[in-house]
Amino acid sequence: MEENVSNPTSKHIETLYSFNTTYGADSVEWCPHVQYQNFFVCGNYELDETNTESVQKRLGCIYLFSVNCDTGLKLHQQVNTVGILDLKWCPNLVQGSSLLGAVNSDGILEIYQFEKESLNLLTKYVFNPNTIESILILSLDWSTGKYENDQPLISCSDSAGNIHVLHFNTTNLTVESFWHGHTFQAWITAFYYWDTNSILSGGDDALFLVFDKRIKDMPVTKNKEHGAGVTSLHSNKSKEYVIASGSYDENIRLWDIRHMKRSTDIFKMPGTLWRLKWDPFVQNFLLAACMLGGVHIVSALTNHPMGIVESYYEHKNISYGADWSFLDKNEVEKFNSAGNVVIGTCSFYDKLLCISKTYCDF
């Protein structure tokens, strides 16, 4: 298996709107639900330089936006919080409601209900409330990426290397499973959507682990192929067995979960990977946020070598967040400029959120 090297030339992604965030922006997530697909959230955080305590404090907020070809980019709400480290919408409506999960620097998972164009805190779970040392909850994922459920599971990873699986029931969060997975920070956790007993995790120890939550403590597979910390994992909801991973080693890897000894494909990107997202339409393309190396759309067709098809370099300092909108092509066509898909991206130190339009061969 050869390692491909990309050619990071600028291509055709056109900025529709931009917004300067209060703090460093690290997460963009589009609402997947039909009636709200023009809405998205942006999470951000910043170290509190005025804090004199020994434990670092992070300030943050969640912005709720919409985009419309007539009214443009509209800010509906700013929810002031501590530092936001990850945001994810539940893929399915839960008892008719759109739910947003947020994890933060105070070691808390929060669930917001989206209604009447605003986010309202529904419930929360505080991890390690009696611990003096600050634990950051670094990532979350919902179990319903493929199969709908009114009582979904949520996996979370933390800065101590732990993995948590929680059960959401109406308005309550309870811990179903917990185990220690990584020596250092567990940067990412995700469900294998085809069998949600399988929990994926990646850490700063460069390990890619697969756990069965019914067994917990011992991983069923332990892969050491990544050359540095594993930062992103995403299960493909339409192609069984396929998983994408990203790493500080600047490579995207594709995996077959049945044969985890070695990745099935590897592609060198022009920067460190932080976010990888399968497209929501055909799951043949990956949106990749590469920190100092730009944001890119990568073709990842079965039985074809991976390759960059579009690149975006408006973000100058740490591209952390990237997500596809779920807007269909008829809605996308209403926005000026060529293309059939809208994406959202954000960067940290330049505090920049961008909404852009491009073309992808779905």
| 3 state DSSP class of 274 | coil
How many distinct structural domains can be found in the chain?
1
- Render pLDDT for 301-327 as a digit per residue (tens, 0 to 9): 888 899 999 999 999 999 999 999 999
Domain residues for the domain of 311 are: 4-358
What does the pLDDT average to over 31-38? 97
| 3 state DSSP class of 68 | strand
- Render pLDDT for 323-339 as a digit per residue (tens, 0 to 9): 999 999 999 999 988 99
Using CA of residue 214, residue 187, residue 170, residue 281, what is the dihedral sign? negative
* pTM score of the predicted model: 0.95
CB half-sphere exposure, 182, CA atoms < 13 A: 30
Nearest to 154 by CA among 115, 131, 127, 116: 127
Q: For the chain, first and last CA: distance in Å?
A: 27
CATH number, domain containing residue 347: 2.130.10.10
Give the pLDDT confidence score for residue 231 in this predicted structure: 98
Q: How far is Cα 335 from Cα 278, in angstroms, rounded to an integer?
A: 23
- Render pLDDT for 44-97 as a digit per residue (tens, 0 to 9): 999 887 766 666 789 999 999 999 999 999 999 999 999 999 999 999 999 999
- Render pLDDT for 132-186 as a digit per residue (tens, 0 to 9): 567 999 999 999 999 999 999 999 999 999 999 999 998 899 999 999 999 999 9
